Structure 1
Amino acid sequence: MPHIPERLRGSPLLVVSSLMFAVMALCARSVAGRLSVGQVVCARFAIGLVFLAFYFPLIGRRPRMGRPGLWALRGIFGGGSVYFYFMAIDRLAVGPATLLNACWPICAAILGIFILKEQVNGYLASGLVATTFGAGLVIWSTVQGGMSLTLGVGAWAGAASALLSGAAVIALRALRGDTDAASIFLSFCFFGLLFGLPFALQDWRPLSWDMLLPLLGVGLSSVIAQMIFTYAMGYVTAAAGGITTQLTPAFSWLLGALLLGEPLQPLSVLGSLVCMGGVLWGTGLVPRLLIPASRPSS
């Protein structure tokens, strides 16, 4: 990653990453039903590996795997999470699928406390509650709109994606102390491709020219999003990172409504606003504006 000013690291970068993840979900949704989930997963990770094949020689450095076991776990958890996430996108609208996946910060925050010994302050805890509540409002609006999320395969896939994402982020956070973002991304792409390949071969569907652009969009947007996300997570806690990435459901829902004509319920708009408010509060941006800094004593 190029040099980035300190004020733009962490949460600001995660906002950009969240938008790119939403673009990826939109592209994946545009080929839902025409390609199998395994094919879309393999396209995402194959494009990532092609990027890394040029990236490492360009910077003149080899991948670093200081802790091979943890490095592999990050890829396995992440690859499984993406497969189930794309399965949810395939069966649900892009908004609710992304919201189910966005529940991962709950798992990551809890694991971060017990495994990484991270501290959660009052702003962070209340921000996490607000963003989770906002996501719940959007899910409820979907149920009210006639789409059942309780027993469907898509809902279970979204829940599984959230669980695996939380575990993957904890592994990522543990690795970022001595492993660069690109090496972690390599694990994600390599094991993700291995995870999706059997499913792609089992349910292979013919490709057409009009599918190539969305698949390229899935791969390129995910490369940008994941590289930024992995880099930024070195500057925030797992819980803080989870709060900021709650913007992804809001972005996904908006893009799905504008570009795919997916339904946008008033309650979902409220939930998205609550999510964004939780991001601003939990990351300390609003508290810093509302609470004046203490003046030094003379």
Structure 2
Amino acid sequence: MNRWNLPERYRGIPLLVFSSFLFAVMALCTRLLAGRLSPGQVASGRFLIGLVFLAIYFPALGRRPRYGRLSLWALRGIFGGSAVYLYFIAIDRMTVGPAVLLNACWPIYAAIIGWLFLRERVTGPLLAGLALTTLGAGLVMWSTMDGGASLSMGLGAWAGMGSAVLGGAAVVVVRALRHDTDSATVFFSFCLFGLLFSLPFAIQDWRPLGWDVVLPLLGVGLTSVAAQMTFTYAFGYVTAVAGGVATQLTPAFSWVMGALLLGEPVSPLAITGALICVGGVLWGTGVVGRMLAPASPSRPAA
């Protein structure tokens, strides 16, 4: 056996970390559009760019969509599309930090739904890692709030929590689908049903388009394509809970980029939260346990 042949779960985690970074970039681009475009317009732009990408992707590779179980394929798009729309409402009504934090709670719901419908096993290290990363993400985002003020339970907060519930359901469906279809076809469902869901809201609250929104909107769409394709592919190797642990890095990435690009202050509390978040990821994915495990005795030469 090749010693570089990593177990499947260790193949998926690096991809999920990369997708978490891209999702953080997308959140920042979305925040730049707050007040200039409606959440429905931003969501529609994101899904439309994804469909354009797929219109090039499938013919270029000579492939056709492989739908698998059509009902699950449709559910993935319905859950995912509605989750994104609610997420964009949260970012529009709140600052990017608290909005990302509320959405980042989706692994909790994914774990519950995955256990109920897929009978996925939830281990102690995964739960501990999930708790640590959620705590770390919370500390990071709390440090960015003005004076430590609590979240008001307005429309933005409710939308953020709703996006977490629907996002958790969408991830579980992705996990169930990945054995019957491919990541591009799953992404096709996400973009198609997401556009159908968000377009009426975009038309209802249409705001004039100017050149000042082009670059941020392209940033939302392009990072979404890269992040979602990587995210969906990675879930062929990990459970919903294990993936949720890794993607808790998105709030930490959001804070780092906010500090570097938007001039947000860096506090000791934020640094502590980021370290806890990274430690939770390493613990939950088994990296720490593997490092602390005693080395296997070497066999004597024959």
Q: Distance in 2 between matches of 1:295 and 1:106?
A: 39
Q: Distance in 2 between matches of 1:101 and 1:269?
A: 21
In the TM superposition, 1:207-286 aligns within 5 A as 207-286=209-288
Secondary structure, in 3 states, of the residue corresponding to 1:21?
helix
Would the aligned equivalents of 2:141 and 2:251 in 1 still touch at CA under 8 Å?
no
Question: What is aligned with 2:183?
Answer: 181
Q: Distance in 2 between matches of 1:15 and 1:286?
A: 16
Deviation of 1:137 after TM superposition, in Å, equals 2.6
Secondary structure, in 3 states, of the residue corresponding to 2:209?
coil
Q: Which runs of 5+ in 1 are unaligned?
A: none
| 1:177-210 CA-partner distances (Å, limit 9, x unpaired) | 1110000000000011111101110111111112
Question: What is aligned with 2:197?
Answer: 195
| 1:132-155 CA-partner distances (Å, limit 9, x unpaired) | 222333454456725441312211
Question: What is aligned with 2:70?
Answer: 68
Question: What is aligned with 1:30?
Answer: 32
Secondary structure, in 3 states, of the residue corresponding to 1:9?
helix
Question: What is aligned with 1:82?
Answer: 84
TM-score, with structure 2 as normaliser: 0.92
Pick the aligned partner of 1:159 from 161, 165, 169: 161
Deviation of 1:265 after TM superposition, in Å, equals 4.3
Q: Distance in 2 between matches of 1:144 and 1:27?
A: 21
**RMSD (Å), alpha carbons:** 1.8
Would the aligned equivalents of 2:81 and 2:197 in 1 still touch at CA under 8 Å?
yes
Moved more, 16-25 or 262-271: 262-271
Pick the aligned partner of 1:204 from 206, 210, 213: 206
Deviation of 1:130 after TM superposition, in Å, equals 0.9
Deviation of 1:268 after TM superposition, in Å, equals 3.0
TM-score, with structure 1 as normaliser: 0.93
Question: What is aligned with 2:59?
Answer: 57
Would the aligned equivalents of 2:132 and 2:276 in 1 still touch at CA under 8 Å?
yes
Would the aligned equivalents of 1:131 and 1:279 in 2 still touch at CA under 8 Å?
yes
2:121 is equivalent to residue 114 of structure 1: no
Deviation of 1:285 after TM superposition, in Å, equals 1.1
Q: Distance in 2 between matches of 1:256 and 1:141?
A: 12
Q: Which runs of 5+ in 2 are unaligned?
A: none
